[in-house]
Each structure stands twice: as C-alpha cells, then as structure tokens.
Amino acid sequence: QVQLEESGGGLVQPGGSLRLSCAASASLFNMYAMGWYRQAPGKQRDLVASITKGGMTSYADSVKGRFTISRDNAKSTVYLQMNSLAPEDTAVYYCKASRQVAMGQLVYWGQGTQVTVSS
C-alpha cells in the first residue's frame, strides 16, 4: 500500500507560480511512474504531466512550456512546478503512482490539492 500526500496548492493571481509536492510512503518509490492529474468542477480528471521511473517526462499540450514535473527519489517526492498560471488552470490537482507487477498494475492516488488562479 502506498500513501500519497499532496501539498502546495492555494490561491494565486494570473501569471503567478506554484510548486506542488507529492510525498509518497513507498519504500520502492523509484520503481513507480508518477503523474499529476487535475479535475475542474464538472469535468473529467485529465493528465497534466508524468514522469517515468527512469525520469522521462511528458506533458499535456495545454501546459507545455509552463509546467515542469520532477522527482527526487531520495525524498520519495514528485514535484510540479507551475509557472504563468492562468484561470483555466484552476482545478483540484491529484498525484498518481503506478507500477507494473506480475498480477497487473498497482495504482495509487492522493487526496488532491486545490489550485485556484484568480485576481
């Protein structure tokens, strides 16, 4: 069982920055692919950014050039640096950990952290 705890959300003005953190309880954190998702009211949960256990990253088109995902395996933590924030980035941001095992895929979610971009 892996527990994920997000932090760093809050209220920020358009054009501002936030850094989200997701601390994992996993002893094998370096074996997990990590991702950040977001869900705005009335919308589905969408992938924002992901990072493989090897450090390869990918981003949704809407955040490319503005958001950066990174991981610190020594701290069992994944980060999402968000710059040039816009009102449409307002959502609950969730952290996801996943790992392929013999029986299938293990997937764990955090409880989410609210990001509100507003003047």
* Predicted pLDDT of residue 3: 94
Please enumerate in sequence order all residues whose Cβ is within 8 A of that of 72, keeping only pairs 6 or more positions apart, or say none. 78, 79
* pLDDT at position 106: 93
C-alpha span between 10 and 86 (Å, rounded): 13
In the prediction, which pLDDT does 26 show? Answer: 76
What torsion do the CA atoms of 69, 26, 43, 52 make, to the nearest 10 degrees?
40
Q: Which two tokens stand for residue 70?
A: 């990174």
Residue by residue, pLDDT tens for the chain (119 residues) are: 889 999 999 999 999 999 999 999 978 899 999 999 999 999 999 999 999 999 999 999 999 999 999 999 999 999 999 999 999 999 999 999 999 999 899 999 999 999 999 99
